[in-house]
Amino acid sequence: MARRRIALVATLALVSFSLAATPAPRALAADAPPAPAAPPGPTFKNGDLGITVDGPSGWRLAEGTPATPAWSTVATFSDAQSGSSAVLSVRRATAVTLPKLRAEVSKTFADDKSYTVAGITDLPVSGKRPLPGVLVDATQSRPADPPAPGAAPPAAPPPPTTWRVQAAFFLAGEREFQLYVQARATLFARMAGSVDRMVQSVTLRVAGSAFTPKGGNAFRDDVAGFACRYPEGYGVRLPDRTQHLVEFAPAAAGPVLGVYRYETEADLDKETELLVEYYKGPEVGGEATGGRIQVAGREAALVTAKGRMGGKDQVFFVAVVKRGNDTFRLRCAADVTDEAAAKATFDTFTRGFVLLNV
């Protein structure tokens, strides 16, 4: 009996030891939580200028005071850790047209030998940005930063530092904007996406001081994708015609303005040829010449014509501007005796015409 008790005690002890030595079942590892989204960066918005720019996450924003016509800083985005920065500047319209802007920007960077330009490309219009611009991609060699206070001077002069620069210039009617982004070349690869998003974030408000002068009138068609100014004292009529979008006319006699829109694969040369043939043809029987102007920051066809239409001798100024196959005709018609007034009205009208989207 004693032996049985000893064996039973030993068995219970062994079981207790086995249970104590067995590790507790581990809980299933939970999925790692998703990385938190980066907080939004600062946003610069100026209602008077009608411009908005979104800065990269983690950068600081300082606003400046604009003055024209020289470039004046209105906002500075900066990152103290990397030394990167983006400066937004404004000036009164100086280049006005895309070719002149491109030529000015090209000369500016070519004259400064510290820059090596990789490319200068046109920025297409978009729904946010109704006017085009130019983007410069370059590097700039600068002297190395001086040693920190109290640090021993280097045995040999340090090599210069290379900075990557992307400078975007935008036409905005009565104003022009410059967004100058710079970062050390060694850091730019990981910042490229943020810089591109910043450039694409630039928005320009069509209504307001940039496009509507004092006493002017504004018209906007978001479906067709354009906006324009028309003279003081003019009325607005929406014709019941597929291609004739809008007409602006004075209460009494004077030049009449119209905007037409249609789809065609014809280029500007072909458009000019067709218009010249029309005004010279049997329907009008007049005279016509072709040329080129700038409309909405783009090259456009120009046809100047005279002929008899509606029982009256009239003068016509017609501009054709294309957005892909989307084609707009801007026409000014007036009595032939009002040619000078018609030309002035037409020139003002084409300068205020804006394409809103691609």
**Domains in the chain, ordered, with CATH?**
43-143+159-204 (3.40.1000.10), 217-355 (3.40.1000.10)
pLDDT at 63: 87
Q: What is the per-residue pLDDT for 20?
A: 46
Q: Which phi and psi angles does 342 have, rounded to 5°?
A: -65, -40
Mean pLDDT confidence for 277-282: 91
Highest averaged pLDDT of the listed ranges 48-52, 62-66, 324-328 = 324-328
Q: Pick the residue with more confidence: 36 or 291?
A: 291
Over residues 331-340, mean pLDDT:
93
Band of residue 32 on the pLDDT scale cut at 50, 70, 90: low
Please state, in angstroms and as integers, the Cα–Cα distance from residue 299 to each residue in 131, 355, 357, following that order.
13, 13, 17
Mean pLDDT of 325-341: 92
100-127 confidence digits (pLDDT tens)? 889 999 999 999 999 999 999 988 766 5
Residue-level pLDDT at 71: 93
3-class DSSP assignment, residue 302? strand
Percent of the chain surpassing pLDDT 90:
41
What average pLDDT does range 256-270 have in this prediction?
92
Task: Provide mean pLDDT across the span 212-225.
Answer: 67
The number of beta carbons lying within 10 Å of the beta carbon of residue 2 is 6
| 122-158 residue pLDDT tens | 887 665 665 678 999 999 998 877 776 777 777 777 7
Classify strands 256-263 and 326-335 as parallel, antiparallel or unpaired. antiparallel
60-105 residue pLDDT tens: 999 886 654 689 999 999 998 888 999 999 998 788 777 888 999 9
Share of the chain above pLDDT 70, in %: 81
Residues contacting residue 119 through CB under 8 Å, at least 6 positions apart: 136, 137
Describe the strand order of the beta sheet including 354-355 as a list of residue ranges.
217-221, 226-230, 354-355
The C-alpha angle with vertex 152 and arms to 147 and 153, in degrees rounded to 5, equals 60
319: pLDDT confidence band, cut at 50, 70 and 90? very high
CB 70 within 8 A of CB 103: no
- Residue bearing the bigger pLDDT, 199 or 11: 199
Q: Sorting pLDDT into bands at 50, 70 and 90, what band is 169?
A: very high
pLDDT at 4: 52
Per DSSP, what are the bridge partners of residue 85?
A: 78, 182
pLDDT of residue 215: 41
Sorting pLDDT into bands at 50, 70 and 90, what band is 38?
A: confident
Q: Looking at the predicted structure, is the pLDDT value of residue 341 above 80?
A: yes
What pLDDT score was predicted for residue 29? 46
Q: What is the mean pLDDT of residues 32-48?
A: 78
Please tell me the predicted confidence (pLDDT) of residue 345: 94
Q: Respond yes or no on whether the N-terminal peptide bond of residue 255 is cis (omega within 30° of 0).
A: no
Single out the residue of 51, 320, 88 nearest to residue 211, CA to CA: 51
pLDDT confidence of residue 151:
72
| Comparison of pLDDT for 24 and 351, the residue scoring more | 351
Task: Indicate whether 8 pLDDT > 50.
Answer: no
Least confident of 22-36, 188-202, 253-267, 291-305: 22-36
Please give the pLDDT value at position 35. Answer: 64
pLDDT, the chain, mean: 82
Q: Where are the alpha helices (DSSP H) in 44-97?
A: none
| Mean pLDDT confidence for 220-236 | 84
User: What pLDDT is recorded for position 112?
Assistant: 94
pLDDT, average across residues 178-197: 92
What confidence tier does 205 reach under pLDDT thresholds 50, 70, 90?
Answer: low
Return the pLDDT at 241.
Answer: 66
Cβ–Cβ < 8 Å for 240, 213: no
